[in-house]
């Protein structure tokens, strides 16, 4: 149950930053909490049952090959120990997703959705009460001050790309009680409103993907889920965009068409990432090492796929793409089987639509953002992947007692990940408590240009090495 408790706390973590905001930044605090959560979940998962062994299939061999490529990339990096830190976090997120998969059942999913809806509703109140007071008084309120627990509103948007489809599932799924469904619906509307006044273009695209992809795959069986999601996006998103546009005195900036259509330096980041990849095409420059070449924009390329290519190399990127295609095809087969069955089980249809839609949102948002970089959005994405894996297993008729072969069943691999996460937790906590500004320290003279010491987060808010 620990992984599910951790998942249920994902809206609570930002609120607890209010207790430590005088000393720690929200990003740095969330990073330490994330690593500690991953450590606890890894220990629970390592002690869990492994099931009977199964023969390694193609996916198992690809996972082993990917692990070898990642370890080689980290070993050949300019700063191997910093690269190892990124690899450890990635391994912890994979374990978190597997732990969610193994812990879920339909009853537990209902409980988890209820908790997520209640906490999302509470977080929405924390954001909207100051906004309503500012609108009533005609005062100016800064968008950064509205968003609690995140150093930048965009970091909240990354989380909402995953949270909104899950809230719609809670609002439309029959096993959830009526009152709880209404709470989830209101929370989803408030979340879409936050997308509106934060100009969350990538998250809006991800939400639209979560609306359209289930309709394409499931047809009319996804109509209830997709229509509700589109309606909530229209009411909340358009309503709060009106607040941002028509009452500019309320927010710190006036939104313009020009601001919505510009690329925000993404073309520069793409060129920079491709230049780094070309300098080390086979194994990449090393995990997290995009942040070893300071620039005036960001410590990550705002594109998860390009980031993998740049930092891990073409071999690892090819294997990740192959595994994604294989997993996507497997999920597609399960959902198409539900469509072809022709049954009228609306609960099953809504669950299938939500799982497909949430994964579509994760993949689309990763094209334009740092959702796989920021600590809380990493946890949201890992939770969504774990839910989709559970759904695939449940609908494929695979017994929960059957474990995946290879890395997922290896006792040595499990405990190595636990030990690495424990050491990373202790090191991160020590850096947070002892350094005036937590940063990834190296033996070299820092080359970060003046003015880039903050607002360019990677592992810490000060993202540069």
Output the 3-class SS for 391-426: HHHHHCCCCCCECCCHHHCCHHHHHHHHHHHHHHHH
Residue 439 lies in a domain: no
Residue 373 lies in a domain: yes
* Residue closest to 241 by CA, chosen among 388, 160, 143: 143
- With contact defined as beta carbons under 8 Å apart, do 386 and 100 qualify? yes
- Percent of the chain scoring above 70 in pLDDT: 85
pLDDT digits (tens, 9 = 90+) for 408-422: 556 777 888 999 999
Q: Which pTM does this prediction carry? A: 0.92
Between 116-120, 204-208, 406-410, 439-443, the lowest mean confidence (pLDDT) is in: 406-410
Residue 447 lies in a domain: no
Highest mean pLDDT among 9-18, 130-139, 363-372: 363-372
* Radius of gyration, alpha carbons of the chain: 22
pLDDT at residue 251, as a whole number? 58
Between 115-119, 242-246, 289-293, the lowest mean confidence (pLDDT) is in: 242-246
Residue 11 lies in a domain: yes
Residue 450 lies in a domain: no
In the predicted structure, residue 463 carries a pLDDT above the cut 90? no
Output the average pLDDT for the chain. 85
pLDDT digits (tens, 9 = 90+) for 224-240: 999 999 999 998 877 77
Residue 445 lies in a domain: no
pLDDT at residue 153, as a whole number? 87
- With contact defined as beta carbons under 8 Å apart, do 462 and 442 qualify? no
Name, in order, each residue with C-beta under 8 angstroms of 31's C-beta and a sequence gap of 6 or more. Answer: 375, 428, 459, 460
What range defines the domain where residue 63 resides?
Answer: 2-434
Domain count, the chain: 1
Residue 449 lies in a domain: no
- With contact defined as beta carbons under 8 Å apart, do 168 and 354 qualify? yes
pLDDT at residue 123, as a whole number? 94
Residue 414 lies in a domain: yes
404: alpha, beta or left? (left if phi > 0; alpha if psi -120 to 50): beta
- With contact defined as beta carbons under 8 Å apart, do 39 and 418 qualify? yes
Q: Write phi, then psi, for 221 (nearest 5 degrees).
A: -70, -20
């Amino acid at each position: 149950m620990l992984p599910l408790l951790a998942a249920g706390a994902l809206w609570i973590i930002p609120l607890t930053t209010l207790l430590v905001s005088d000393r720690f930044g929200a990003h740095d605090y969330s990073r330490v909490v994330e690593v500690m959560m991953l450590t606890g979940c890894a220990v629970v998962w390592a002690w869990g049952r492994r099931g009977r062994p199964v023969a390694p299939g193609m996916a198992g061999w690809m996972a082993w090959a990917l692990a070898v490529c990642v370890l080689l990339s980290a070993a050949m990096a300019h700063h191997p120990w910093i690269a190892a830190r990124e690899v450890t976090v990635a391994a912890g997120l994979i374990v978190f997703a597997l732990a969610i998969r193994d812990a879920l059942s339909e009853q537990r999913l209902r409980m988890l959705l209820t908790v997520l809806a209640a906490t999302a509703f509470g977080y929405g109140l924390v954001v909207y009460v100051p906004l309503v007071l500012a609108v009533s008084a005609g005062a100016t309120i800064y968008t950064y001050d509205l968003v609690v627990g995140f150093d930048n509103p965009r970091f909240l948007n990354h989380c909402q790309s995953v949270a909104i489809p899950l809230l719609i599932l809670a609002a439309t799924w029959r096993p959830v009680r009526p009152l709880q469904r209404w709470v989830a619906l209101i929370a989803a509307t408030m979340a879409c409103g936050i997308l509106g006044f934060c100009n969350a273009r990538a998250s809006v695209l991800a939400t639209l993907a979560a609306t359209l992809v289930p309709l394409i795959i499931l047809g009319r069986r996804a109509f209830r889920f997709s229509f509700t999601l589109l309606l909530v996006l229209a009411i909340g998103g358009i309503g709060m965009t009106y607040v941002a546009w028509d009452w500019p005195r309320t927010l710190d900036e006036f939104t313009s068409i020009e601001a919505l259509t510009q690329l925000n330096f993404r073309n520069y980041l793409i060129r920079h990432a491709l230049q780094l990849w070309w300098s080390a095409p086979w194994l990449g420059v090393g995990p997290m090492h995009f942040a070893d070449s300071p620039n005036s924009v960001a410590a990550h390329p705002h594109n998860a796929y390009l980031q993998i290519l740049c930092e891990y190399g073409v071999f690892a990127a090819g294997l990740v793409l192959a595994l994604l295609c294989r997993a996507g095809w497997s999920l597609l087969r399960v959902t198409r089987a539900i469509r072809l069955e022709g049954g009228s089980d609306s609960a099953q249809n809504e669950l299938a639509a939500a799982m497909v839609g949430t994964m579509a949102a994760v993949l689309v948002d990763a094209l334009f953002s740092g959702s796989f970089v920021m600590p809380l959005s990493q946890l949201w994405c890992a939770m969504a992947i774990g839910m989709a894996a559970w759904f695939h297993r449940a609908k494929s008729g695979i017994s929960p007692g059957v474990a995946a072969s290879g890395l997922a069943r290896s006792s040595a691999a499990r405990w190595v990940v636990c030990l690495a996460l424990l050491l990373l937790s202790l090191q991160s906590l020590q850096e947070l408590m002892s350094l005036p500004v937590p940063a990834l320290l190296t033996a070299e003279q820092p080359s970060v240009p003046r003015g880039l010491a903050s607002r360019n987060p990677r592992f810490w808010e000060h993202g540069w090495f």
